């Protein structure tokens, strides 16, 4: 049996979202200045009304429940699994009912994707295609034989399922290949996008988050879970030319369903949420900083010994590092913003269980 966050994958039930605005209102809403900002995804918890979006703009203004303000009060009723921005659209993965909800860049609900979408987890894209890791119907929580990748054509609106057992989680595309972390198998799956054939990179632990840098290096979090204990954990670095993986060990890697790996703007650092559960099931730890040139973790973490440490994200425009702290699925969380040189810039209150930040402009 996995830990609670994995046993109860977060679910999202969004009401039908309709927005009616006057022409003057639309002129105002189309302003790029209104779109620009950091958007904190507050996951809430399983089957409650605590999930929301908090907007944080360049002036330091915080707007809670931004999604509700943009959608006539419609509530995001359960935790989103992943949020992905592409071509002025925002895609939100959710369950119960299983679907991907599509917003415009103003967070106004526009459409839903439901065909072949069952327990969607994470996103990646290339060309006309959106790829979504899915856990399918009636997962057994052991080998996960019925999981798959959804390949969705964003032009035609058609989709197909590509079988991938093992519980695919985080996704990244580099060098013409889709890399998929497997949360229930000691492998990283690698799909050739041209042939859709899989190869595998062996690991000694399960994996979750996957990110890539501007040089097509892929980084993956290798972790120990409740039912799959391993000491070979840390940050995996994949050379996407050879698909060889090097492991740089950490004593603890977060097993939360959140953004636990992020790359700095200049690709010189990788931030990893290095944390584990205490006796009371509180996630305790900090953010370790991996130097991509020396291939070592810096001696001084960005932040340490934090109860509720949950996620890390990096603003691709200015390099600011956003650290998210959860105080529970029903209580407001915290956001600390650091400059690229790790100077603390802001401390703000956000929504319940903040899990990632996306940046729109």
Give every CB contact of residue 69 below 8 A, 6+ residues apart in sequence: 63
Indicate the pLDDT class of residue 77, thresholds 50, 70 and 90: low
Average pLDDT of 190-205?
Answer: 98
On average, the pLDDT of the chain sits at 90
16: DSSP letter: P
Average pLDDT of 318-326?
Answer: 97
Q: What is the pLDDT of residue 24?
A: 40
The number of folded domains in the chain is 1
Residue 2: is its pLDDT beyond 80?
no
Residue 355: is its pLDDT beyond 60?
yes
Q: What is the pLDDT of residue 98?
A: 86
Identify the CATH number of the domain in which residue 151 sits.
Answer: 2.130.10.10
DSSP string, 61-97: -EETTHHHHTTTT--B-S--SEEEEETTEEEEEETTT
pLDDT tens for residues 237-247? 999 999 999 99
Measured distance CA(243)–CA(221) in Å, rounded: 16
Question: How many helical (H) and strand (E) elements, i.e. helices and strands, does the chain have?
Answer: 4, 29
Which candidate, 232, 212, 230, 231, places its Cα nearest to that of 220? Answer: 212
Q: What is the pLDDT of residue 31?
A: 53
Give every CB contact of residue 157 below 8 A, 6+ residues apart in sequence: none
Indicate the pLDDT class of residue 12, thresholds 50, 70 and 90: very low
Cα dihedral 217, 179, 126, 312 sign: negative
Q: How many residues does the chain have?
A: 361
Average pLDDT of 275-301?
Answer: 96
Query: What range does the domain containing 350 cover?
Result: 4-360
pTM comes to 0.90
Six-digit token pair at 198? 């899989």
Indicate the pLDDT class of residue 8, thresholds 50, 70 and 90: very low
Residue 104: is its pLDDT beyond 60?
yes
Q: What is the pLDDT of residue 27?
A: 42
Residue 303: is its pLDDT beyond 90?
yes
Indicate the pLDDT class of residue 29, thresholds 50, 70 and 90: very low
Q: What is the pLDDT of residue 76?
A: 75
323: DSSP letter: E
Average pLDDT of 119-123?
Answer: 96
End-to-end, the C-alpha distance of the chain in Å comes to 41
């Amino acid at each position: 049996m996995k830990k609670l966050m994995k046993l109860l994958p977060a679910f999202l039930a969004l009401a039908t979202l309709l927005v009616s605005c006057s022409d003057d209102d639309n002129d105002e809403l189309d302003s790029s200045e209104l779109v620009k900002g950091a958007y904190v995804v507050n996951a809430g918890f399983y089957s409650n009304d605590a999930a929301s979006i908090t907007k944080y703009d360049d002036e330091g203004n915080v707007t809670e429940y931004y999604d509700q303000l943009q959608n006539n009060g419609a509530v995001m009723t359960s935790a989103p699994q992943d949020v992905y921005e592409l071509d002025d659209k925002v895609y939100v993965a959710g369950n119960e009912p299983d679907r991907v909800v599509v917003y415009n860049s103003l967070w106004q609900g526009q459409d839903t994707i439901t065909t072949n979408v069952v327990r969607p987890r994470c996103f990646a894209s290339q060309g006309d295609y959106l790829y979504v890791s899915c856990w399918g119907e009636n997962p057994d929580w052991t080998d996960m034989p019925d999981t798959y990748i959804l390949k969705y054509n964003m032009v035609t609106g058609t989709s197909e399922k590509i079988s991938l057992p093992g519980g695919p989680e985080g996704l990244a595309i580099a060098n013409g290949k889709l890399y998929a972390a497997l949360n229930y198998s000691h492998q990283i799956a690698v799909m050739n996008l041209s042939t859709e054939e899989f190869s595998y990179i062996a690991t000694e632990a399960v994996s979750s988050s996957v990110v890539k840098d501007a040089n097509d290096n892929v980084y993956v979090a290798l972790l120990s879970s409740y039912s799959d204990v391993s000491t070979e954990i840390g940050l995996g670095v994949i050379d996407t030319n050879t698909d060889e993986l090097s492991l740089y060990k950490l004593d603890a890697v977060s097993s939360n369903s959140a953004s636990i790996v992020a790359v700095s703007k200049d690709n010189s650092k990788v931030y990893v949420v290095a944390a584990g559960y205490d006796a009371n099931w509180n996630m305790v730890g900090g953010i370790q900083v991996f130097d991509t040139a020396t291939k070592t973790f810096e001696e001084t973490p960005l932040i340490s010994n934090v109860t509720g440490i949950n996620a890390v994200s990096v603003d691709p425009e200015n390099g600011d590092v956003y650290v998210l702290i959860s105080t529970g699925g029903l209580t407001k969380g915290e956001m600390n913003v650091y400059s690229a040189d790790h100077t603390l810039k802001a401390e703000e209150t956000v929504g319940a269980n903040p899990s990632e930040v996306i940046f729109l402009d």
